[in-house]
Structure formats: C-alpha cells, structure tokens
C-alpha cells in the first residue's frame, strides 16, 4: 500500500495523473527487477481490480485477473485497467550481471545510487561504470555508483562492467544498458511582479513584468499571455512593454514548463492610467454675456483622464472653489472676469505621478438689465398715467359743458344780423374746443368779439352782432 501511495504522489508531482494512466509498481523498487529477488508487480489504475489484464512480452498473458502478480519468469510486463489504459513496461531479468536503478521518478537534486549486481549476489570486483561509451568511474571494490546531487545532465544510458572469478566462470562480464532519466523538480509557487509595483502604469511609460518560480528546476521555459487566449506575448522570465498604450490594460499571466510539468501564475491586472487632458468649461446658459440677476453655472470636464479627477476653479487667477461645477447663482457685475478650471489626477500605486490640465480662459461679462426692458416698463407706466389723466379731464369737462348748454338755452333769441353796410367790417374769431386726442366738437363753439365800426364811425352795440355763428 505504501508503494501505491508513493507512486501516486510521484505521478501527481510530475503531472502524470492529468491523463489518469495506469501505473505498474514493482517491489523491491528497482528496475530492472531480477528473478533471484522475490518480485511482486501491482497494477494501479481506475476501474475494478478484478478486471486487470496482464501482458508479457507484448502478448496477452492473463485476462480479468487480480491486480497483483508474483513474477517467476523473466520478461517485460505491462497491465491494463479499463478506466485508465495500459501501463508503462517493467522488465524482469535473470542475467549474470545487472545494473539497477531506483524504480521511481528521479528528480533533480536527489541522491541516487546505481548498483551493479552479480547473479544471486555473488562476488564481482573491479567494477566500472559507463554512460554511453564514456567511463564514469572505476571502482576496485565497490559495486555502487552515487550520483549526488542528481543533475539534469546525469540523464543517459548506463551500464556496468566487472571482473568475475568463480568456479563456474572467470573474466569480464557486462550488464545490459539501463536508462536514467532525471526530471526537474516539479514547479510550484509561480508568481508575477511588476515594475512599477501593482501593475499600474501611466500612459506611455515603461512596464516590466517578471515571472518567478518558488520551487522547480529546469531548464525552464516561459510564455506570457494576456486574457484567456491568443498567441504568446513573449518568452523568457521577463516581459517588457517599453511604451504602454491604452490597449495594454488587461490580466497578464505566465506559464512555466520544465519539460515534465507546467505551472501557471495567478493573473496580474495591469491598468494603464491616462493623464488628464483637454479640460474645457461649459457655461449654463451658453453665453459669455449675461445680465445681472441671471443664474449662471459653470461646468468643467476633461476629454480623457483616469479617475479620480479633481477640479479647482480660478477667478482672475485666484482659487475660488473646487469640484466639477461652479454655481455662481444670481450674478452681479462683480462676477465679471476670466474663469479657468484646473483638472488633476494622481496616478500610480502611491499617487506619485501628478498630472494637471488647465482649461482655456472663459471671459464672463455681466451687464445691467437690458435698456429696452426699462424703456418698455417706463412706456407702460406713462401710458397708464396718461389714460388716467384723460379720463379725469373728460369726467371734469363733461359737467361744465352741460351747464354752458343750459345757460345758452335760457337766453332770449337774438335778432338776425343784417348785412354790413359799405365800409363796415365784421371780425369774428371762432375757436372750437377740441377734446384731447379727438376731432373738434360740433356743438356750441365759443366766439370772441372784435370791435366793429359803423358806417358813420360809430361803435355798434355788441348786441347787434350775432353771438353764435354756426
């Protein structure tokens, strides 16, 4: 059971369990195994243990058998489980000289010992070890080769050669080659860092992302990605964006591989901060000239700029208020002058970049109320006063006129005048009284009298002249 757990952990470490392949455990844990040891093979995988199929030298050997097998014959064994497929092979030998390697994944940094064994552990001397055709070490007495600490360059095909001196045989014997594969330490703890810190960078600045691995050995390969898809942005432990733009914002992550396993970092959100620019003032109402008493509001806005953005108002160069709006209320002449707003945003993780944008000047002119309004008001008042006076005059004149008519009617009739004699001149000036704003009245004109000399130079009596002239 301990062997199963160990193999499972090794498989998980190397990423082998991602495909859920069947594994074949060997006990004692050496490969190749030898018949002079009591060898037990255990098939581990998905599915029912009783449904295991065994293969020997590529041929079906036992079908629907148990998951454990005691080996009594040399050969190459594999097993199959319905849920996880065919296992890697395990070789069992019955040779006179065998070189064995630990039957487990060999990780960089481990201490590994290779052992050269004679049949039934009989004596062998002057053992030499080779990797390929190159001799690694000559040992006059030892039968083991230690590779400590294990490095990736230790991978290769090894064999051993030793001097055998027994009653049965005498001379040099050589083992079959065995493959040693060194895996890098499984990757874990992959993390990202950014400069500037936090992944916040101002538009146009330089951004450098770095990928680090807490545990794991190489050779390591790196790929950079933004979002969930797309071609890699780069390779190597660093990704540099020398001049970031608006479209460089997003979630970045790196993938690291050492050939045996792949690990991925937690995404880092990169935010490209845009400095404020193009500040403008919009007045309400939309006019630079207003009259006293008008309600006026000024609004400041920017075309671009990352939040938060603060606004400061200047009147004739002096700060008067803060905020995006400047409420002037009902203006008076003192509100005239030039207005500007200053838009500011602080960028970076600690706000150590400060950007400002100054709006163009707005010249506001406040004038008294429009003259035509005063004239109209004065005209209306004068008209009303004139109407009142006319009504009063009419009401006062009407009784007087009626009284004059009654007095005239009470007088006796006058004799009709005769025609003037030669030398007589008659002057009469008739004055008609008119109503204000109307035509002359046709009733009872007033008559003024002039002195009229008679034919003999005498004065006529006024009664000789007609009083009324129609």
Asked if residue 30 has pLDDT above 60, the reply is: yes
Note the pLDDT of residue 210.
96
Residue 430's pLDDT is what?
32
Model confidence at 459, in pLDDT bands (50, 70, 90)?
very low
What pLDDT digit, counting tens, does each position of 305-346 carry? 988 899 999 999 999 999 999 999 999 999 999 999 999 998
Q: What is the pLDDT of residues 344-376, one digit of tens each?
A: 998 765 667 788 999 999 999 999 875 443 333
Q: CB–CB of 311/301 below 8 Å?
A: no
Residues 299-310 as b or e (16 or more Cβ within 10 Å = b): ebbbeebbeebe
Tell me how far apart the alpha carbons of residues 220 and 256 are, in angstroms, rounded to a whole number: 6
Residues 190-218, mean pLDDT to the nearest whole number: 89
4 C-beta neighbours (distance < 10 Å), count: 13
Give 34 or 410, the one with higher predicted confidence.
34
Q: What is 47-110 written as a DSSP string?
A: S-GGGEEEEETTEEEEEEE-SEEE--S-EEEEEEETTTEEPPPEEEE--SEEEEEESS-EETT-
Mean pLDDT of the chain: 78
The residue-averaged pLDDT of 87-105 equals: 94
Burial of residue 208 (number of CB atoms within 10 Å: 0-12, 13-18, 19+): middle
Q: Cα–Cα distance between 311 and 302 in angstroms, integer? A: 10
What percent of the chain shows pLDDT beyond 90?
50
Burial tier of 255 (Cβ tally within 10 Å: 0-12, 13-18, 19+): middle
pLDDT exceeds cutoff 80 at 244? yes
pLDDT at 169: 80
Would you state the pLDDT for residue 370? 55
pLDDT for position 155: 94
SS3 17: helix
Grade residue 63 by pLDDT with cuts at 50, 70 and 90. Answer: confident
Q: What does the pLDDT average to over 101-107? A: 93
Confidence (pLDDT) at 350: 63
pLDDT value, residue 5: 36
Bigger pLDDT: 408 or 22?
Answer: 22
**pLDDT for the residue numbered 276:** 92
- Nearest-10 Cα torsion for 287, 291, 292, 293: -70
């Amino acid at each position: 059971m301990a062997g199963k757990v160990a193999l499972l952990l090794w498989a998980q470490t190397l990423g082998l369990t991602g495909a859920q392949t069947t594994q074949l455990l060997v006990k004692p844990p050496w490969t190749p195994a030898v018949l002079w040891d009591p060898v037990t093979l255990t098939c581990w995988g998905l599915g029912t243990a009783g449904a295991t199929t065994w293969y020997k030298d590529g041929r079906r050997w036992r079908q629907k058998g148990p998951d454990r097998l005691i080996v009594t014959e040399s050969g190459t064994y594999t097993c199959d489980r319905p849920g996880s497929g065919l296992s890697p092979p395990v070789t069992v030998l019955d040779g006179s000289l065998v070189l064995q390697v630990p039957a487990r994944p060999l990780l960089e940094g481990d201490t590994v010992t290779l052992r050269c064994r004679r049949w039934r552990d009989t004596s062998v001397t002057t053992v030499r070890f080779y990797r390929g055709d190159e001799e690694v070490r000559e040992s006059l007495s030892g039968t083991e080769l230690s590779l400590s600490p294990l490095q990736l360059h230790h991978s290769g095909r090894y064999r051993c050669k030793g001097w055998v001196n027994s009653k049965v045989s005498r001379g040099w014997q050589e083992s079959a080659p065995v493959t040693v594969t060194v895996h890098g330490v499984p990757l874990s703890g992959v993390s990202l860092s950014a400069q500037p810190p936090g992944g916040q960078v101002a538009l146009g600045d330089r951004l450098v992302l770095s990928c680090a691995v807490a545990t794991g050995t190489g050779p390591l390969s790196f790929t950079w990605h933004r979002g969930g898809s797309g071609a890699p942005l780069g390779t190597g432990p660093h990704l540099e964006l020398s001049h970031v733009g608006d479209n460089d914002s997003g979630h970045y992550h790196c993938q690291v591989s050492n050939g045996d396993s792949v690990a991925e970092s937690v995404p880092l959100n990169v935010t490209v901060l845009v400095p404020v620019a193009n500040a403008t003032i919009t007045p309400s109402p939309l006019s630079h000239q207003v009259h006293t008493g008008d309600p006026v509001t000024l609004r400041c806005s920017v075309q671009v700029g990352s939040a938060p953005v603060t606004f400061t108002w200047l009147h004739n160069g002096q700060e008067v208020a803060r905020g995006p709006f400047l409420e002037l209320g009902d203006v008076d002449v003192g509100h005239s002058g030039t207005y500007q707003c200053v838009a500011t945003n602080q960028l970076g993780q600690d706000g150590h970049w400060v950007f400002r944008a100054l709006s163009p000047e707005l010249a506001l002119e406040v004038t008294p109320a429009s003259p035509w309004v005063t004239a109209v008001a004065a005209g209306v008042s004068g008209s009303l006063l004139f109407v009142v006076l006319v009504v009063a005059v009419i009401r006062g004149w009407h009784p007087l006129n009626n009284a004059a008519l009654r007095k005239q009617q009470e007088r006796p009739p006058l004799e009709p005048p005769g025609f003037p004699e030669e030398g007589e001149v008659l002057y009469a000036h008739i004055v008609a009284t008119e109503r204000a704003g109307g035509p002359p009245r046709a009733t009872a004109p007033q008559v003024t009298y002039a002195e009229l000399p008679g034919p003999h130079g005498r004065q006529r009596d006024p009664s000789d002249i007609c009083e009324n002239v129609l």
